């Protein structure tokens, strides 16, 4: 081995001084040593910059606008259904209430009051009060009879509300078919009636 102070002589081998290996470089945002590939090379930067770097945050404004639009449409649909159910439900309840009030009066023998309060003037022209009371009397109903309504249909056309009610009055040992039609703009009146023993 040659002394550093001695001049280089031909045939002698020079040796480089030993240096300690460099520590691996650490990238910003990394918490450990950087990965070194083969032969001490570092990987190529990824599509978003340096390895380990987060992708840039994309604007999600369009997504929020689309979602808000869809949410608004769904809200309108739900509100429309709720309003429709409410309107139809109240009309159905009104029709049931009219039918029930009329039937209870007839069953309890108050046919005159039922005629005055529920029948439309046009129906009264076709059916006199005496004929109505006599017809109901032939059915021989009493307080033990109970009505049940199996078909209620309500609708509105040109501002005129309609309600068709069908069902059965069950008495001891017999049944009476009923069918009523109520019409009107605000206050519905009976325009058609059928009360007859069930065949």
pLDDT per residue over 150-189, tens digit each?
A: 888 888 888 888 889 999 999 988 899 999 999 988 788 9
Helices 129-137 and 111-118 pack at an angle, to 10 degrees, of 130
The torsion angle over the Cα atoms of residues 102, 107, 111 and 115, rounded to 10 degrees, is 20
- Please give the residue range of the domain that contains residue 96: 66-197
| Residue 56 maps to a domain | no
Residue 15: predicted pLDDT: 60
Strand partners, 193: 180
pTM: 0.54
| Residue 89 maps to a domain | yes
Distance CA 65, CA 57 (A): 18
| Residue 87 maps to a domain | yes
Number of domains in the chain: 1
Residue 146: predicted pLDDT: 92
Confidence of residue 192 (pLDDT cuts 50, 70, 90): very high
| Residue 36 maps to a domain | no
| Residue 9 maps to a domain | no
User: For residue 59, what is the DSSP state?
Assistant: P
CATH number of the domain within which 87 lies: 3.10.450
| Residue 40 maps to a domain | no
């Amino acid at each position: 081995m040659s002394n550093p102070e001695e001049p280089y002589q031909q045939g002698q081998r020079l040796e480089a001084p030993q240096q300690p290996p460099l520590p691996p470089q650490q990238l910003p945002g990394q918490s450990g040593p950087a990965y070194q590939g083969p032969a001490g090379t570092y990987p190529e930067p990824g599509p978003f910059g340096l390895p380990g770097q987060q992708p840039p945050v994309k604007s999600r404004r369009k997504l929020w606008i689309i979602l808000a639009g869809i949410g608004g449409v769904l809200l309108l649909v739900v509100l429309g259904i709720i309003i429709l159910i409410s309107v139809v439900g109240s009309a159905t309840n009104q029709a049931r209430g009219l039918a029930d009030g009329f039937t209870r009066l007839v069953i309890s023998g108050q046919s005159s009051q039922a005629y005055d309060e529920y029948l439309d003037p046009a129906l009264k022209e076709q059916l006199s009060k005496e004929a109505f009371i006599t017809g109901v009397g032939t059915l021989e109903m009493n307080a033990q009879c109970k009505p049940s309504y199996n078909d209620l249909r309500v609708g509105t056309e040109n501002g005129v509300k309609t309600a068709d009610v069908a069902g059965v009055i069950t008495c001891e040992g017999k049944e009476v078919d009923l069918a009523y039609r109520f019409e009107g703009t605000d206050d519905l009146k009976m325009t058609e009636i059928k009360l007859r023993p069930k065949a």
